[in-house]
Structure 1
């Protein structure tokens, strides 16, 4: 074809980002990052379906299957069809009957709920979109959702599904009725070396499971170590976790140390006991335990509880997975000694003590620790470059003499030191529900992502409002539905 008679208009000039306003540029970045996450979920779901088919085909090749081959193939197809229908079914708040509030935090709340369809009990975490956006918590929400969705470990609280409406985000998780490790510390004040070894070993398995997924938890503390009905632990509350994705990038700890100290050194975020007036000795355990109860109140704040945080997060140094092992050392210290190693009456002083740990870290003279226990703690609460686990991961810590004789692969088959006594599947006796406001239905009041027990999350307003791009774009691809059990 002769093209001489055709005239083509010049291509329009490519417009630079400066040609648009900040709102348009921010929305473009969010769309790019979240579209990536959205299609990643689609690819993952297709791969998982293919793997299930290959696994079923391998099972059918077993001669022992015999005449049941056709029946198993048909059941597999029915399960897949049921799951596809489940994916198309809209999940909404009206599908659940609220039972009791079991946790609150700064941006949300967690309720014990019963699903109308199957009658099962779950923990439903609710987060306010407006609070997530206005307080720049979007990376925390995405990190928690991704960590729980990607995990299929017995050491991590199971996420069944996530959904949303115009005002809120929801995470439906398994209900762990045993409460958390902090509740056990409040009840028993101090653990023996054997009991500490048991919980430390299980925490190592839980932290290792998250690290294997490529996530750093960054908020390992007794409140986030949940106890199941058999007395074994599961790791929860991934609101501060960091994956190596742009959508997980945030600066939660930026400028914490630049904040002014509380006036006159008065307590901040503590309501009952001034720790600075208490000598940290064995004889004062009752007062120290009262301070520990008041420490739970800090989890309702946006800052959270800093007692177990590694110094690298405050000083602006680079860090990696080893920061979670510092937190493990701090928890082991508290289990054996009775209080955290850098306990102070306000978060500002705690930050300062942690950053200056070489001058502030010590073992009390009146508390005896076995040399192996003391060495393990010192090997975890130390410089990141020489910290146990910084080179060989969890395997380094498992090989420490303190864990001699521990079979890490059979921990969940061992009887736990403390097993909760439960009256029913709705039993909440292991949670401080009496300290939380209870009401009928789902509250329209406060709600937070940072909770004291992993089921916690609070304070925001869930009133209906106009749906804007700022409330839609950040949450594209947030919905998740697990194949196993959710639709059974």
Structure 2
């Protein structure tokens, strides 16, 4: 019997279908890729757990308990599989307090009804994500936190969504953030600065090892856990690849004319800030500036004080931009304000671009030679910046002589938050935030929203976020 010959398939002409077809094709590709990537990862993790269990059962001391241990492990695996199939929704949680608000969403302290555990639940409004073209930020943060299992990065447990919002269930870090610490203590000693800087180096290195650039290292995104040790958060600006930086918001601002004298644009402070007026004698002024800057951090604009000059150019950038940001934080911890603080965003940008002439150290603040050298080495040109060849060259700087980077979490932190309960929010500026019962308005019409009828799912609010759901395997399931 002769073989049947078929005509060759037609060559697809994607350009004739319009942009929507090309977009949907790309989204389907990403969804399928993410689905199978997660499936393969879970299968590998399950295989590894089985191998570890078999090795453990080879111990002669466990001979009499082998059947019991094997049976118990099987039940835990079944419990985990049920956990994966369980749909997350707002009704699974009760709100304790609002602990953060931003332009695109909010963060609430919540307690899980099933087991009473406490979490931080971050909610992002889909309408704002779409209208402000923030979808890449959402995906970047989700992917970075999902891939990370580092003790230096805030842990993401699960992500879910309803018709109006995206939700990220994360560990609650009751120590607040580094900005709150700077507001409270105003200035750090070199020993305390060395401790926090060493921990931040470990956190940035963990992210870089995954192939991510954070791009938004600042005191607001450095959180403190129950023991006072740091964890890195907020990966909305992170990117997982090297790229040429397209014409950005920062470049556009640089091209604007300077504000007229006496009428500054984007005035973000209640006091005049420049390199001349910033001295030890006006710490009250500095703290007022910090509080004003925190309000800016909650806006859609953000704060530019810590960003590297490469972000203003079209020459591209890489991992070393995070080390510039750390250099500015070290400066702020030791001096009391960021090195390029100014009255307007425009002036801050200009100072950053002209950093060789604007990086100044006040005469009335005494710093060691190693501290100044470290700062100047990190606030430097990309091809000469300390850290361009990896975190190891920063760790080897004389400023960190004697620091055991692998044992930092075994050292008692300089400041331990005095917590009174598992829902203590005294380290957060909750008094400045409106507190509402439950999840409030804007929470969507999904099944978890209390007091609101379940509405029909809107494809425009669901299709862009396909594949967003994530669940982390918790060690408690195999304990």
- Give me the TM-score of the superposition, normalised by structure 2: 0.92
Q: Distance in 1 between matches of 2:253 and 2:45?
A: 42
How far apart are residue 361 of structure 1 and its match? 1.1
Structure 2 residue aligned with 1:126: 123
Structure 1 residue aligned with 2:369: 371
In 1, are the aligned partners of 2:163 and 2:458 still within 8 Å (CA)? no
Structure 1 residue aligned with 2:317: 319
Q: Distance in 1 between matches of 2:73 and 2:118?
A: 26
How far apart are residue 262 of structure 1 and its match? 4.6
In 1, are the aligned partners of 2:203 and 2:232 still within 8 Å (CA)? yes
In 2, are the aligned partners of 1:167 and 1:463 still within 8 Å (CA)? no
The answer for unaligned runs of 5 or more in structure 1 is 448-461
Structure 1 residue aligned with 2:15: 18
Structure 2 residue aligned with 1:478: 468
351-360 or 187-196: which moved more? 351-360
Matched, 1:389 2:387: yes
User: What do you get for the CA RMSD once the two structures are aligned?
Assistant: 2.6
Q: Distance in 1 between matches of 2:310 and 2:368?
A: 28
In 1, are the aligned partners of 2:101 and 2:298 still within 8 Å (CA)? yes
SS state at 1:124 partner: strand
SS state at 1:255 partner: helix
How far apart are residue 136 of structure 1 and its match? 1.5
Structure 2 residue aligned with 1:98: 95
SS state at 2:254 partner: coil
The change in CA–CA distance for 1:12 and 1:485 in structure 2 (over 3 A counts) is: closer
How far apart are residue 403 of structure 1 and its match? 0.5
How far apart are residue 470 of structure 1 and its match? 3.6
Q: How does 1:22-61 map to 2 (within 5 A)?
A: 22-61=19-58
Q: Distance in 2 between matches of 1:121 and 1:7?
A: 64
How far apart are residue 275 of structure 1 and its match? 2.1
Structure 2 residue aligned with 1:152: 149
Q: How does 1:9-408 map to 2 (within 5 A)?
A: 13-244=10-241, 255-259=252-256, 261-262=258-259, 264=261, 265-266=263-264, 268=266, 270=268, 272-276=270-274, 279-391=277-389, 393-408=390-405
- Give me the TM-score of the superposition, normalised by structure 1: 0.90
The change in CA–CA distance for 1:237 and 1:260 in structure 2 (over 3 A counts) is: farther
Structure 1 residue aligned with 2:448: none
How far apart are residue 38 of structure 1 and its match? 2.4
The change in CA–CA distance for 1:300 and 1:464 in structure 2 (over 3 A counts) is: farther
SS state at 2:158 partner: strand
The answer for unaligned runs of 5 or more in structure 2 is 445-451
How far apart are residue 2 of structure 1 and its match? 6.2
The change in CA–CA distance for 1:287 and 1:62 in structure 2 (over 3 A counts) is: same
Q: Distance in 2 between matches of 1:282 and 1:446?
A: 46
Find 2:408's aligned residue among 404, 407, 411: 411
Q: Distance in 1 between matches of 2:133 and 2:371?
A: 40
Deviation digits for residues 140-182 of structure 1 (CA, Å, limit 9, x no counterpart): 1111111111111111111111111111111000100010000
How far apart are residue 263 of structure 1 and its match? 5.3
The change in CA–CA distance for 1:275 and 1:395 in structure 2 (over 3 A counts) is: same
How far apart are residue 244 of structure 1 and its match? 2.5
Q: How many residue pairs were aligned? A: 469
Deviation digits for residues 434-480 of structure 1 (CA, Å, limit 9, x no counterpart): 11111111122599xxxxxxxxxxxxxx9987644443232222111
SS state at 2:237 partner: coil
24-33 or 108-117: which moved more? 24-33
Q: Distance in 2 between matches of 1:160 and 1:274?
A: 43
Q: Distance in 2 between matches of 1:471 and 1:35?
A: 19
Deviation digits for residues 283-318 of structure 1 (CA, Å, limit 9, x no counterpart): 112111111111001112222111111111111222
SS state at 2:207 partner: helix
Q: Distance in 2 between matches of 1:89 and 1:250?
A: 43
Deviation digits for residues 110-143 of structure 1 (CA, Å, limit 9, x no counterpart): 0000000010110000011121122111111111
Structure 2 residue aligned with 1:453: none
How far apart are residue 64 of structure 1 and its match? 3.3
409-418 or 23-32: which moved more? 23-32
Q: Which has the higher contact order (CA 8 A, sep 6+)?
A: 1
How far apart are residue 260 of structure 1 and its match? 5.2
Q: Distance in 2 between matches of 1:7 and 1:73?
A: 56
